[in-house]
């Protein structure tokens, strides 16, 4: 681990990150690129640690559909086994002289027709036990679809920020000096207002020969904007009070550090506050570069075009010196 030997004593320390100061308690980065904390939980059993709703909601779409399909197949299989065990003769409409396999798959599809409440009726239960089982399966089926309805709604109504951050942060020219810049852009057809950002720097610093995790508040040219319709470049001017004051390209390359970014905005369509975040390790910071403009008027001069593919586009800049 490379420590930063000194730090700017004028920099404003940030004590409210929720992380402590002892670096040997932490492994790897603090915050992942997707904005979640780089933390695993242990010490209780999995079920206690997992909110299955959060899990089902956060799951990729193909996985979610696969889980539903598997559930459907397995539950039908289990019920088919039960119908089969009770006896196929209690299911009217299945020929007694078929093979065991044929009887089983017919029981299986009877189960599917009951679970989904299609109930064609060419196969129907006639014994007490089989009827009870079928009545139970229909209940289980309807409740399963009640849960599926909730999960589908939960998945697509979940407020999401739909904001992308640039892959890199830049040290760019700014007025007479430099500034740390990174940018973000909304990429879907939602409407974000009252956006507010927060930037924090985490570094491991040598304090009297002992490594210590230090966090610094990074002041920004603008912390809030009324509407996040276009790209937004967050600018931390590296002035005398900045913890990054005097950092050279070598410093960024040789030191362990991390820029943590949080964003909150109000989504007009969801009528909800949405959040997003990311982090940049020092080796994800490009020293001497500036972002290309990413929006332009259209040909007819009636509308502004936001070029999403230019989010990561920048030009190298030589700071001379």
Task: Tell me if 312 contacts its own copies by CB under 8 A.
Answer: no
**CA 289, CA 315: separation in Å to the nearest integer?**
5
Task: Tell me if 135 contacts its own copies by CB under 8 A.
Answer: yes
**CA 290, CA 283: separation in Å to the nearest integer?**
17
- Separation of CA 240 from chain center: 36
Residues 266-295 that bind its own copies (CB under 8 A): 266, 268-275, 277, 293, 295
- State the minimum distance, in angstroms, from the CB of residue 278 to its own copies: 13
Could you tell me which residues are beta bridge partners of residue 224? 196
Task: Tell me if 122 contacts its own copies by CB under 8 A.
Answer: yes
**CA 87, CA 129: separation in Å to the nearest integer?**
10
Instruction: Rank residues 218 and 287 by Cβ distance to its own copies and give the closer one.
Output: 218
Question: Per the structure block, which two tokens stand in for 119?
Answer: 């109930």
Instruction: Rank residues 49 and 319 by Cβ distance to its own copies and give the closer one.
Output: 49
- State the minimum distance, in angstroms, from the CB of residue 176 to its own copies: 19
What string marks each residue from 209 to 248 as x (binds its own copies by CB under 8 A) or -? -------------x-xxxxxxx-x----------------
Instruction: Rank residues 282 and 287 by Cβ distance to its own copies and give the closer one.
Output: 282
Choose the stretch contacting its own copies; rule: CB under 8 A; options: 25-33, 172-180, 240-248, 278-286. 25-33
Task: Tell me if 82 contacts its own copies by CB under 8 A.
Answer: no
- State the minimum distance, in angstroms, from the CB of residue 24 to its own copies: 7
**Residue 138's closest CA among 85, 79, 70?**
79
8 A C-beta contact, residue 53 and residue 154: yes
- State the minimum distance, in angstroms, from the CB of residue 320 to its own copies: 26
**Residue 262's closest CA among 92, 35, 65?**
35
- Lookup result for tokens 């939602």: 190
Instruction: Rank residues 6 and 302 by Cβ distance to its own copies and give the closer one.
Output: 302
**CA 146, CA 5: separation in Å to the nearest integer?**
59
Task: Tell me if 99 contacts its own copies by CB under 8 A.
Answer: no
Q: How many of the other CB atoms lie within 10 Å of CB of 259?
A: 24
In degrees rounded to 5, what are phi and psi of residue 79? -65, -40
Instruction: Rank residues 241 and 310 by Cβ distance to its own copies and give the closer one.
Output: 310
Kindly tell me which residue out of 44, 62, 100, 208 binds its own copies, with binding defined by CB under 8 A: 44
- State the minimum distance, in angstroms, from the CB of residue 83 to its own copies: 14
8 A C-beta contact, residue 4 and residue 204: yes
Task: Tell me if 124 contacts its own copies by CB under 8 A.
Answer: yes
């Amino acid at each position: 681990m490379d420590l930063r030997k000194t730090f700017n004593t004028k920099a404003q320390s940030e004590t409210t990150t929720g992380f402590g100061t002892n670096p040997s308690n932490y492994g790897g980065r603090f915050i992942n690129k997707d904005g979640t904390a780089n933390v695993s939980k242990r010490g209780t059993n999995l079920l206690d640690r997992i909110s299955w709703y959060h899990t089902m909601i956060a799951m990729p779409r193909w996985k979610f559909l696969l889980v539903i399909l598997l559930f459907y197949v397995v539950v039908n299989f289990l019920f088919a086994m039960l119908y089969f065990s009770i006896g196929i003769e209690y299911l009217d409409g299945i020929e007694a002289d078929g093979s065991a396999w044929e009887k089983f798959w017919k029981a299986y599809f009877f189960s599917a027709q009951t679970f989904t409440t299609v109930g064609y009726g060419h196969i129907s239960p006639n014994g007490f036990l089989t009827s009870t089982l079928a009545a139970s399966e229909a209940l289980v089926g309807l409740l399963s679809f009640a849960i599926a309805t909730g999960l589908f709604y939960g998945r697509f109504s979940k407020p999401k920020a739909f904001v992308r951050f640039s892959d890199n942060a830049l040290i760019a020219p700014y007025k007479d000096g430099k500034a740390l810049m990174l940018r973000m852009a909304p990429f879907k057809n939602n409407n974000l207002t009252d956006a507010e950002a927060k930037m924090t720097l985490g570094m491991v610093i040598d304090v009297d020969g002992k490594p210590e995790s230090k966090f610094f508040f990074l002041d920004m040219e603008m912390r809030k904007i009324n509407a996040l319709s276009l790209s937004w470049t967050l600018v931390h001017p590296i002035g005398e009070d900045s913890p990054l004051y005097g950092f050279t390209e070598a410093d960024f390359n040789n030191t362990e550090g991390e820029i943590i970014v949080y964003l909150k905005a109000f989504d007009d369509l969801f009528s909800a506050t949405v959040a997003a975040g990311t982090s940049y390790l020092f080796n994800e910071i490009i020293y001497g570069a500036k972002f290309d403009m990413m929006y332009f008027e259209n040909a007819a001069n009636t509308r502004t075009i936001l070029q999403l593919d230019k989010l990561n586009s920048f030009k190298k800049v030589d700071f001379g010196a």
